[in-house]
Structure 1
């Protein structure tokens, strides 16, 4: 008798596979790194075959960790980073490296479209303005700069859809991923008029069928079974765009609920029962017909923390490794001392992009000789939280918000979770689940396996709260002032970004 469903969640650095029982309890998890290649400025790629082999390892490790075999798995669900592009040729083979959602090579394409006045039409048709990592922009860049590669396109896939293709041999996507590009915001279906807005009419022949997230998209093949340890014929659900999968995994399945994800991307999202269109967010398909997921996002969240630790805290990382503890435990005394002092440093967390302009860059401002490493870390964390507030304040224009659910690396730190509550002036709920993206994907598998009738039923069983952080009035007032200083500083330096990034001759 099957015991588990398997959720696969493939991010921008790590692919995770996790087994869950019928109560949503984690039974075993496997993780594998995937190399990120940056061969040129603003080019962020990965090798698709390495990506598949890493996923095979993660699946095998998850089975071993749970003491399970492929016969114990009832169904599989998929989630992966959104946007970007995983191209296949007409023989369904990888057509070069995948382009990740951190990629910014197409920023000039986006700037040209904006200068040509196309954005209002795009917003009305698609429910979103495009970013450099959008498949529309990436495809346009390839069509212009790599015409031979573009001519060989056979299938346009996204991260999870590439992995599902390797598991099942079936080409497909789901409704949430389909709305990344080329769908009409009102009908929620592919629309050739939308493709024409980007001068890409031919792309319609290369788009994968868009299925419901909980429907079965294929079955594990013999080759995939040998590579992973799964059972031949195991059903694989279509799954979800990772942003929506994470929301589902933390129990945000009803209209008006706010989900925050402090991961590589800064993700802030609200479900609605009608399309609510605003240039400050993407209005994309929700996980069920007649629902929309309103996402205000930017590539500017906890990746900044990882960068700082990797570059400037190597001594702490070595100590942590020797002691068998987290590097953040080693750094905590420095951080605690910094939070006990008066602040003043401002950090712009724009290493990979921002919500303010297609071209941006990170910066520390207000640094003095008296400041220590802990002060920089404090400013960096506050900058990440303030970037989330920028998006949440935008969403407040369209949706009443009375609480938030927080996932991602920041959710594991009580200090950071409390900082979110204070900076947003909202109660913040942290879920009692470690791998929430994989759980959201696994919940799709649970519906596909017949364990649940709908994702809302799965959420009622599988999603539990761990802690709730209430905003503290004094801290909220202090952070409100600091946030306003942060916004002023962004406006002050924004005009310098093109010259700092070599985009003009100034």
Structure 2
């Protein structure tokens, strides 16, 4: 069934007050067996489902690969049919394993890649492939947005600048190049919401995913009519929005057949992947930053008020409710720079990094701007490079330069938060490259702060926390974060003077490369 309420011009966040029902439901499940909370993460390259017990321990997990369909002009698409088949197989494998162990799923929440518009017809069938966050075909539409709406107005209303990753320019691309797609569309949702639809039959989204649309007022939590109209998107049926831990439905009979989950268990609204990852990493307030060393890099902080940087160096959106926000700095090529150099050397990453373990800056510098840079420079045209090469420069010197350049870029981004009045005293580090101890140690040295490397799969764990809230295990997401604290190895900073000097030299690179 499709759950609809207000006209999309009037929609705001809503909350279903069903804690008594959920607590009773959770209590009845405990009588049946060990209670599990299910989180499913619809990523860019894979879908992963986890089962977490009442102590926060991951009991089981399963994953399946996903195909990215690439094409000319920066095309990068996913097909919802792939999501349906692979996520379904993933959940069925998970529930089969839980059944053998006597465990009982109590609730589920989905998370997933953000930004890509999932357009459905009146029968709730996808009408087109989904342009992913990394699909760059809408660059011209971003320029169009800037010509229609002053950049400062857009930033102050939405907390974001017009870049190709967000939803609005992708919708405008459809309007220009494939208008029949919008004509056939009856609903707009986001990737993780498609899993919620398959599970429960509910159409809608949450406030965190909507924040990256360029259409949401970052203060009121309402769709902004002036921006929607200015961009010519009045015909798009924007979704009703929930808070991430709200119960938006229950597993239907069809959803149970698809997933293997028990019919009737609560389905939470869920959250975008970066938001779920921040929750899973233990972010609850401005005392902690999260560094994410993925292909792109993120620096995240949770706030109790929206902070809008007038220079657009960071972007701000809602966290998992309408009373908290997440502020994010983005490095375009963090892990991507490390992987690029690994590919150039034709060496596995860990083997490459092992050559420089325990060695400080080399005197060679690398600017990791392989695809421009967002935080703090907002320069799509700048490109990276090595500086201060000599005839005696070794492969290890250049590897150290690449790693140091990425670490210095994270400090650049963190410095923006300090300039905006956010002074965190704790830092969590997550992401694929963070599995390497040398990289974590180097970032701690450059940042001159201790880092805690989180051991858990924080994105799926964040979704499981939301599921636990939906089941009544916790009264709030703050309670969930406190009861299931993110933990891991701590890396203390060393050699402060050496790394401070190297960082100050690194800061001289961008002005020399800009406009090259």
User: What TM-score does the superposition give when structure 2 sets the normalisation length?
Assistant: 0.85
CA distance in 2 between partners of 1:36 and 1:166 (Å): 21
**Does residue 1:18 correspond to 2:50, yes or no?**
yes
From 360, 363, 366, the counterpart of 1:346: 366
From 486, 491, 499, the counterpart of 1:479: 499
| CA distance 1:197–1:256, change in 2 (3 Å) | farther
**Does residue 1:27 correspond to 2:49, yes or no?**
no
CA distance in 1 between partners of 2:408 and 2:370 (Å): 12
From 320, 325, 338, the counterpart of 1:287: 320
Paired position in structure 2 for 1:425: 448
From 290, 302, 322, the counterpart of 2:335: 302
How far did 1:5 drift? 0.6
| CA distance 1:376–1:81, change in 2 (3 Å) | farther
Q: Indicate the SS of the match to 1:227.
A: helix
Name the stretch that deviates more: 222-231 or 152-161.
222-231
| CA distance 1:71–1:373, change in 2 (3 Å) | same
How far did 1:161 drift? 0.9
Aligned 1:245-284 pairs, distance under 5 A:
245-278=276-309, 279-284=312-317
| CA distance 1:4–1:307, change in 2 (3 Å) | farther
Provide, for residues 250-308 of structure 1, a one-character-per-residue CA deviation record: whole Å limited to 9, x for no partner.
11112443222222332212222222111222221122232221122244332443455
How far did 1:448 drift? 0.6
How far did 1:94 drift? 1.7
CA distance in 1 between partners of 2:122 and 2:332 (Å): 32
How far did 1:155 drift? 1.9
From 423, 429, 447, the counterpart of 1:406: 429
The answer to whether the 8 A contact 2:382-2:514 is kept is no
How far did 1:360 drift? 3.9
Name the stretch that deviates more: 183-192 or 294-303.
294-303
CA distance in 2 between partners of 1:132 and 1:235 (Å): 35
Q: Indicate the SS of the match to 1:44.
A: strand
**Does residue 1:492 correspond to 2:515, yes or no?**
no
How far did 1:13 drift? 1.4
Name the stretch that deviates more: 481-490 or 394-403.
481-490
Paired position in structure 1 for 2:406: 384
Aligned length: 478
Q: Which ranges of structure 2 fall in alignment gaps of 5 or more residues?
A: 1-31
The answer to whether the 8 A contact 1:74-1:234 is kept is yes
Aligned 1:102-181 pairs, distance under 5 A:
102-114=134-146, 118-181=150-213
Q: Please list every run of at least 4 consecutive aligned residues from structure 1 whose deviation after the TM superposition is greater than 6 angstroms.
A: none
CA distance in 1 between partners of 2:174 and 2:230 (Å): 17
How far did 1:112 drift? 4.0
Q: Indicate the SS of the match to 2:244.
A: coil
Paired position in structure 2 for 1:198: 231
How far did 1:115 drift? 5.4
The answer to whether the 8 A contact 1:406-1:430 is kept is yes
Name the stretch that deviates more: 74-83 or 291-300.
291-300
Provide, for residues 123-158 of structure 1, a one-character-per-residue CA deviation record: whole Å limited to 9, x for no partner.
121122222111111112221222222322222221
Q: Indicate the SS of the match to 1:350.
A: coil
| CA distance 1:164–1:374, change in 2 (3 Å) | farther
CA distance in 2 between partners of 1:227 and 1:53 (Å): 9
| CA distance 1:223–1:129, change in 2 (3 Å) | same
| CA distance 1:332–1:308, change in 2 (3 Å) | closer
**Does residue 1:45 correspond to 2:77, yes or no?**
yes
CA distance in 1 between partners of 2:395 and 2:197 (Å): 46
Provide, for residues 69-95 of structure 1, a one-character-per-residue CA deviation record: whole Å limited to 9, x for no partner.
797111111111222322223332222
Q: Indicate the SS of the match to 1:151.
A: helix
From 376, 382, 396, the counterpart of 2:418: 396
The answer to whether the 8 A contact 1:12-1:264 is kept is no
**Does residue 1:453 correspond to 2:475, yes or no?**
yes
The answer to whether the 8 A contact 1:107-1:358 is kept is no
CA distance in 2 between partners of 1:14 and 1:352 (Å): 26
Aligned 1:206-221 pairs, distance under 5 A:
206-221=237-252
Q: Indicate the SS of the match to 1:468.
A: strand
The answer to whether the 8 A contact 1:86-1:94 is kept is yes
How far did 1:391 drift? 1.9
CA distance in 2 between partners of 1:268 and 1:384 (Å): 13
Q: CA RMSD in A?
A: 2.6
The answer to whether the 8 A contact 2:243-2:269 is kept is yes
How far did 1:312 drift? 4.0
The answer to whether the 8 A contact 1:354-1:360 is kept is no
CA distance in 1 between partners of 2:344 and 2:94 (Å): 33
Q: Which ranges of structure 1 fall in alignment gaps of 5 or more residues?
A: 317-326, 497-506
CA distance in 1 between partners of 2:385 and 2:490 (Å): 31
User: What TM-score does the superposition give when structure 1 sets the normalisation length?
Assistant: 0.86
How far did 1:411 drift? 3.0
The answer to whether the 8 A contact 2:372-2:379 is kept is no
| CA distance 1:111–1:414, change in 2 (3 Å) | same
Paired position in structure 2 for 1:229: 260
CA distance in 2 between partners of 1:63 and 1:313 (Å): 43
Name the stretch that deviates more: 112-121 or 399-408.
112-121
